[in-house]
Amino acid sequence: LHIAVLASILSLIIYWIIRDRYRVRNLNGKHVFITGCDTGLGNSLAKWLDKRGFCVIAACATEKGSQELQCCSSLSLKTVNLNLADSSSIARAVVFVTEQTAGKGLFGLVSNAEGSAPVGPTDWLRIEDFHLVLDVSLLGLIEITLKLLPLLKKAEGRVVNLINAKGLMAFVGGGYSLSKWGMEAFSDTLRIEMRYFGVKVSIVEHGFFKAEEVKSDIIEKNLFKLWNRLTPEIRDSYGEKYLVE
């Protein structure tokens, strides 16, 4: 029995070593589309994949973000403006990706963009506050994934959804945690369905990085903004002490 257990553990270790050493070969011509590349993780990933020879298509929310990324990347890296809350913008980006891949299909889709929404007690919020984040981080992600699936199926590519693990802890009201849990469910369902077509779907649950900063002053500013627009009845039910603490 002990020998069998040791053999199983050794086999598992060997499997993980072999799997982790696997590298994608022949990177030339393999296109990867990444959202949320203005700053942070998306920006770093676009540069990293570009240096390794992938054909990177980086989606940025601002023209400034596009220009700064192009300045420190190779000529093969292409950028496209993308607003995930706007279906027209998504459609234009899909056309751009289709043209860039030139019939080869899409090797990878990395979804990284996040909507920023005020956080606070749930009854301090309005429905539009939820839309601010859900329209980008969840519905926008779903829409662009659906429209790029034909290209991903053609290349037997992969979908990688980056999910900040702090969003999986529901300790504050708003759409942020809702979007992360929704991304998990969407990814899990898509993984099962796309297996038939040879398309891999992965979730990367990451934490904080050095590139990220918790802007407490912005959070505080948004909280006071929410507080100041509350009805007197809701404000009185919480009291000034609650706000301060």
Domain boundaries, the chain: 27-212
Amino acid 196: pLDDT: 96
Amino acid 208: pLDDT: 66
- Dig out the tokens for 98 from the structure: 């289709």
Amino acid 22: pLDDT: 65
- The CATH number of 27-212 is which of 3.40.50.720, 3.90.1150.10, 3.10.20.30, 3.40.309.10? 3.40.50.720
Q: What is the mean pLDDT of each run of 10 residues along the chain (245 residues)?
A: 81 76 73 94 94 94 93 93 95 97 95 77 91 92 97 96 82 85 94 96 81 64 90 92 86
> In Å, how far are 23, 83, 156, 218 from 20, measured between CA atoms?
8, 35, 20, 40
Dist CA 59 CA 39 (whole Å): 11
Active site residues: 176
* pTM of the model as a whole: 0.84
Amino acid 214: pLDDT: 55
Question: Three-state SS across the chain?
Answer: CHHHHHHHHHHHHHHHHHHHCCCCCCCCCCEEEECCCCCHHHHHHHHHHHHCCCEEEEEECCHHHHHHHHHCCCCCCEEEECCCCCHHHHHHHHHHHHHHHCCCCCCEEEECCCCCCCCECHHHCCHHHHHHHHHHHCHHHHHHHHHHHHHHHHHCCEEEEEEEHHHHCCCCECHHHHHHHHHHHHHHHHHHHHHHHCCEEEEEEECCCCCCCCCHHHHHHHHHHHHHHCCHHHHHHHCHHHHHC
- Dig out the tokens for 25 from the structure: 């070969």
Which residues lie below 8 Å from residue 216, measured CB to CB, with a gap of 6+? none
The dihedrals phi and psi of 191, each to the nearest 5 degrees, come to: -60, -45
> In Å, how far are 32, 43, 146 from 187, measured between CA atoms?
18, 22, 12
Q: Cβ–Cβ contacts within 10 Å for residue 184, how many?
A: 16
